[in-house]
Chain A
Amino acid sequence: MVRLSFDRGTLRIDSAPAALLESLADIVRFDERTGHHRAAAYRYARVLDAARGQAAASLEDEIALGWRRSTQTSPPALRPYQEQAVSAFETFGRRGVIALPTGSGKTRVATAAIARAASSALVLVPTRVLLEQWTAVLRAHFGGPIGAVGDGLKQIEPLTVMTFESAYRSLDRFGDRFEMLVVDEAHHFSGGLRAEALEMCPAPMRLGLTATPPSPGTAGAARLCDLIGPTVFELEIADLAGSALAALDVVRVHVALNGQERAQYRSDIEPFESLRRDVLRNNPDADWLACVRAIARMPGGADVLARMQRAGALAAFPHAKRVVARELLARHRADRTLLFTAIAKDAVTIAEESLIPVITAEVPREERDAILDAFRGRRIRAIVSARVLNEGVDVPDANVAIIVAGALGVREHVQRIGRILRPREGKRATAYELVTMDTVDEARTRARGRRHAAGRSSARHVA
């Protein structure tokens, strides 16, 4: 009798016939340490399928025995595209990624998918804020207690919400309790170490949610497909802006470095550019990262890279951007504005100058909640942030985004714009992108491409 059980984040396979093991040779290994066959836990569905195919009458599946059902009370009502997303997920065997823009109701889609599966489910979230938000949403739609793990909480129930960090630490112990795994902001797992958390969970039903799936054909897309499933449904901002999302105007504001800044910028960037040209001469195919790595290994390379970073920081937040940010804040004083900088230090500079709250990773939860609450209650008019507000934080009804600078490319940009797209009757959102001409800042903006260009676009130059 083939026996499948969960052992410290892995799938333990006992008494498997040779033919079964042979068919799973790419994912199953014999573990001499313990005398069992073993696979990563997330291979459970495939191992189970293979075992059922070969040993239908004699399979003992200890993992499934431990699952409990969730208690459903009131599944959420869905818009047509949300209904399509859930159907697509189900059509693909409840294994896949749903890509929808921020503000278009990913949580609602996942809640419906969980309700329709009526299974135990674990929801993984990147932040403590999302832990609270998800717990509240599940509580509104399901009977019985809702578990939460992370931020000091450790309660496991058939429906549980867990932070990525807690999952990484504890799914080797609890990963087998859930038949369904929902991964919010799933793009985080397209690379990096924390992806090991998903490997430790055998849940056969796996749903990923993201506003920014990795590009098809990339290593990140392949990794996400392996850990969760393929992208089964995708809509972009352009598909929904003006209907399910607010209409959007994108205004690009070009600024220039002043004389002193330009001299400083050139002096800092030139050694890097020079070495980069040398690298490219020897290796024309080297991408940016390869160049940086090659330079890091050169004598004095670390200093060159440090100066290059200083030049990048200057281009991200020169004097002209400070002035424009101030002007835009004044112009939109009656609106609800979010500002985004590349780094926390620049966010604090704007906060001190314009006396608006800043939300960065260091701001404690109580203060962050108080700031968001004051923003909702219109007791403050704007919030500046570096990365924390990129995703996850529920900021209702902001209608102006001032993107002073970005650091993380297309994904970050789409998420930031998504912050102001929550629909409201008659709402028209405006996103300003501040770009420093003839610097790496301009190159970064170009590299972001046109993915977000959903509404009317215009450009303005500031000397």
Chain B
Amino acid sequence: MLPADLLLVTSRSDGRAAPRYLTGRDEPWVRVVMDRFDAYVGRTVGDRDSELPARVRAVAREHGVSIRGADGVAHVLGRRYSSRVDASQLPARVRAIAFEEAARDDAFDRDAALARASERLQMGRAEIARVLFADRPERRLIVAPPASWSAGEAIEAYNLALVQGLLLRSERVVVDVREHVRAVVRFAKLSGLLCTYALGPDGTRLEVSGPLSILRHTTKYGHALASFFPAVVATTGFRLEARCLLRGEPVAVSIEASDRIARTHKILKDADSAAERALARDVGRLGTAWALVREADVVNVGARAFFPDFTLRHPDGFVALVEVVGFYTPEYLRSKLEALRAASARPLLVCIDETLACDDGDVAGTVIRFKRRIDAGLLVAAAEHLRAQRGTSGAGQRARMDEPESKDRELAGRLQ
């Protein structure tokens, strides 16, 4: 993430600010900066650090672009290169022996000390002098990154670092998430952040903040918000709104899925995702007005959040929650059924694998039994039945999710 002095935003009079992203137009000069970096592979870190900043700024001046923008790109690129020690023997050993020999004489005699060390180490005096501090950070040799980047990838990484730098200075973010809600929530909670949510027409609105944010801005949770952002970027169609403190001034910043930002994280699919994917496909093939959406909803069950596998949405606004009870341990099933009972205030369809001996009476909501594959036609018919019974409902619920991650283990267990 970019440090404060490299954060470029365009401020507006209404207290909003837009991140100044790099775009395709910046690719030519970014490529030149990347070439400047590559030219230092095999040379020392010290050489690069003392010479490269001026060269990067020269590139910025030549191309008529922001110096701070170029410094920001250099900041991002610099982190890609590792370094290695160029020495025939471990420098620490060479030091230990050379310094011990140097301390022997009552009057310091550098040549005599190095001669004795040379004998013990079986290496020449000039080599001793070279290796003595070859492991100092500035004397290490630069190693090329394992994979080369295109200028476009560098730009996306810069834009991600810019957003994360802004979020580091934020106290609260509001995110509209269309999919993988539970994974996003889990990321937030793992970082000790508090999440609240409201249901919206296109998914779930999460409000994420640090516990102390009601009292003041804390860097600890700024870090957490910045670290949590890649989980948001991994989802499609997100929108994020952050309140940041930039150079002492509060500003609102919006980030959207269409922004050109690197996706560094991938949210892994659930173990049962194959069956779920098949169901989504089958519902689509029915050609009805119903749409099956994965993980778009959150239900508050006491102090715990419950994420139904799907929601079935009708164009008139009716929403039925769909939970697939698949291949789990008896303990998990018991806990799940408890959650489902508590959630039954909302229209709920429960699909139960017949191989699990589960009495219908245990489960609130309409139960659909299946073997291996859920019948999409039956599911939609059941949803129609609920819609006819209960009318339109579903949007606008607001609830709290305030339990720390440690109390949410069985939920987290499904998120790998």
Task: List residues of A (1-20) whose CB comes within 8 Å of B's CBs.
Answer: 7-10
Q: From DSSP, what is the main secondary structure of chain B's interface residues?
A: helix
Give the contacting residue for A357; candidates B95, B113, B220; CB below 8 A: B95
- Judge whether A34 and B136 touch: CB under 8 Å: no
Q: Is the CB of B265 closer than 8 A to any CB of chain A?
A: no
The answer to whether A9 and B96 touch across the interface, beta carbons within 8 angstroms, is no
- Any B CB within 8 A of the CB of A397: no
CB pair B133–A33 under 8 Å, yes or no, is: no
**Which of A8, A31, A333, A367 sits near B214, CB closer than 8 Å?**
A31
CA distance A193 to B220 in the complex (A): 8
Q: Which of B114, B192, B402, B404 contacts A33 (CB 8 A)?
A: B402
Q: How far is the CB of B182 from chain A (nearest CB, A)?
A: 18
**In the assembled complex, how far is the CB of residue A333 from the closest CB belonging to chain B, in whole angstroms?**
7
Question: In the complex, which residue of chain A has the Cβ closest to the Cβ of B219?
Answer: A193
B212 within 8 A of partner (CB): yes
> Across the interface, do B100 and A38 meet the contact criterion of CB distance under 8 Å?
no
CB distance from A7 to the nearest CB of B (A): 7
Q: How many whole Å from B16's CB to the nearest CB in chain A? A: 23
A8–B99 touching, CB < 8 Å: no
**In the complex the two chains form, is B108's CB within 8 Å of A330's CB?**
yes
Report whether B192 and A362 are in contact in the complex, using a CB–CB cutoff of 8 Å. no
Q: B196 an interface residue at 8 Å Cβ cutoff? A: yes
Contact yes or no, B132 A380, CB < 8 A: no
Interface presence of A281 (CB below 8 A): no
B219 contacts which chain A residues (CB < 8 A)? 193, 196
Q: Encode contact with A along B86-120: 1 for CB under 8 Å, 0 otherwise.
A: 00000010011011111100111010011000000
CB <8 Å contact, B194 and A370: no
Query: Which of B102, B192, B220 is in CB contact (< 8 Å) with A355?
Result: B102
Q: Mark B206-235, 1 if CB is under 8 A from A, else 0.
A: 010101101100111000000000000000
Binds B, one of A106-114, A218-226, A345-353: A345-353
Chain A residue numbers with a CB within 8 Å of B129 are: 352
Given A172-B192, A356-B102, CB of A29 within 8 Å of CB of B95: no
Which of A7, A193, A367 meets B211, CB within 8 Å?
A7
Q: Which of B229-262 contact A (CB under 8 A)?
A: none
Q: Write out the residue numbers on chain A whose beta carbons fall within 8 Å of the beta carbon of B196.
A: 33
Question: Which residues of A sit under 8 angstroms from B212, Cβ to Cβ?
Answer: 9-10, 38, 40, 196, 199
> Could you say which residues of chain A place their CB within 8 Å of the CB of B220?
9, 168, 172, 193, 196
- Report how far A50 CA is from B326 CA in the complex, Å: 53
**A 146-182 to B, binary, CB cutoff 8 A, 1 in contact else 0:** 0000000000000000000000100011000000000
The answer to whether A355 touches B99, judged by C-beta atoms less than 8 angstroms apart, is yes
B98: chain A residues at CB < 8 Å are 355
Selected from B92, B136, B404, the residue in CB contact (under 8 A) with A367 is B92
Q: Is A329 an interface residue (CB 8 A)?
A: yes
| Cβ B211 vs Cβ A8 within 8 A | yes
Kindly state whether residue A381 has any CB partner on chain B within 8 Å.
Answer: yes
Contacting residues, chain A, for B138 (C-beta < 8 A): 345
Contact A33 B194 (CB under 8 A): yes
CA distance A333 to B209 in the complex (A): 59
Does A308 sit at the interface, judged by CB under 8 A? no
Measured CB to CB, the closest approach of chain A to B122, in angstroms, equals 19
Report B-chain residues with C-beta under 8 Å of the C-beta of A352: 129, 132-133
Chain B residue contacts of A364, Cβ below 8 A: 92
Asked if B215 contacts A348 (CB within 8 A), the reply is: no
Minimum Cβ distance to chain B for residue A392 (Å): 22
For A354, give the chain B residue with the smallest CB separation: B108
Which residues of B lie under 8 Å from residue A367 when comparing CB positions?
92, 95-96
Is A355 in contact with B113, judged by CB distance below 8 angstroms?
A: yes
Query: Is A374 interfacial (CB-CB < 8 Å)?
Result: yes
Smallest CB gap from A28: residue in B: B215
Chain A residues closer than 8 Å to B108, beta-carbon distance: 329-330, 333, 354-355
Bound-state CA distance A193–B107 (Å) is: 48
Q: Closest CB-CB distance, B399 to chain A, in whole Å?
A: 11
Complex partner residue of B209 from A27, A33, A302, CB under 8 angstroms: A33
- Name A29's closest neighbour in chain B (CB-CB): B214
Residue of B nearest to A370 (CB): B96
Within 8 A of A (CB), among B280-327: none
Q: Is B377 an interface residue (CB 8 A)?
A: no
With known contacts A329-B108, A356-B102, A357-B95, A172–B211 Cβ distance under 8 A? yes
Q: A298 → chain B, closest Cβ, in Å?
A: 13
Question: Does B78 lie at the interface of the complex (its beta carbon under 8 Å from any beta carbon of A)?
Answer: no
Task: Tell yes or no: B137 within 8 A of A by CB.
Answer: yes
Q: Are A39 and B194 in contact (CB under 8 A)?
A: no
Chain B residues, CB < 8 A from A40: 212, 215
Which residue of chain B is the closest to A39 with respect to CB atoms? B215
Contact partner of A10 among B99, B113, B211, CB < 8 A? B211
Q: B215 contacts which chain A residues (CB < 8 A)? A: 27, 29, 38-40
- Contact A357 B211, beta carbon cutoff 8 Å: no
Across the interface, which residues of A come within 8 angstroms of B207, CB to CB? 33
CA distance A370 to B92 in the complex (A): 10
By the criterion CB–CB under 8 Å, are B107 and A333 in contact? yes
Question: Contact flags (1/0) for A330-353 with B, using CB distance below 8 Å?
Answer: 100110000000001100100111
Determine if B113 and A33 form an interchain contact, defined as CB atoms under 8 angstroms apart.
no
Report yes or no: A348 in contact with B136, Cβ–Cβ below 8 A: yes
Cβ–Cβ contact A196 & B192, under 8 A: no
Q: A329 to chain B: which residues have CB within 8 Å?
A: 108
| B371-394 Cβ-contact flags toward A at 8 Å (1 or 0) | 000000000000000000000000
Query: In the assembled complex, which residues on chain B have CB atoms less than 8 Å from the CB atom of A450?
Result: none
Q: Are B100 and A374 in contact, CB atoms less than 8 angstroms apart?
A: yes
| From B114, B400, B404, contact of A8 by CB (8 A) | B404
Q: Once the chains are docked, how many angstroms separate the CA of A354 from the CA of B102? A: 8
Residues from chain A with Cβ under 8 Å of B214 in the complex: 29-31, 33, 38
A357 to B108: give the CA distance in the assembly, Å.
14
Distance in Å from the Cβ of B34 to the closest Cβ of chain A? 22
Q: Is the CB–CB distance between A9 and B192 below 8 Å?
A: yes
Interchain CA distance A355-B129 in the complex, whole Å: 10
Docked complex Cα distance between A196 and B96 (Å) = 40
Q: How far is the CA of A10 from the CA of B98 in the complex (A)?
A: 53
Q: For B402, what are the chain A residues with a Cβ–Cβ distance below 8 Å? A: 33-35
Among residues of A, the one whose C-beta sits closest to the C-beta of B139 is A348
| Chain A window 375-403, contacts with chain B (Cβ cutoff 8 Å), 1 for yes, 0 for no | 00001110000000000000000000000
A residues 293-334 in Cβ contact with B at 8 Å: 302, 329-330, 333-334
- Report the bound CA distance from A237 to B67 in whole Å: 49
In the bound complex, how far is the Cα of B103 from the Cα of A381, in angstroms?
6
Within the complex, the shortest CB–CB distance from A35 to chain B, in Å, comes to 6
Q: Tell me if A362 and B136 are in contact (CB < 8 A).
A: yes
- Enumerate chain A residues within 8 angstroms of B211, measured Cβ to Cβ: 7-10, 38, 172
A-B pairs with beta carbons under 8 Å apart, 22 shown: A8-B211, A10-B211, A29-B215, A31-B214, A34-B400, A34-B402, A35-B402, A40-B212, A172-B192, A172-B220, A199-B212, A329-B108, A348-B133, A352-B132, A354-B108, A355-B98, A355-B110, A355-B113, A355-B114, A356-B103, A374-B96, A380-B99
Nearest 3 pairs of A and B residues by beta carbon: A355-B102, A34-B402, A193-B219
Known A33-B207, A193-B219, A334-B106; 16 more pairs at CB < 8 Å: A9-B192, A9-B212, A9-B220, A31-B214, A34-B402, A38-B211, A38-B212, A39-B215, A172-B192, A172-B220, A193-B220, A199-B218, A351-B133, A352-B129, A355-B108, A379-B100
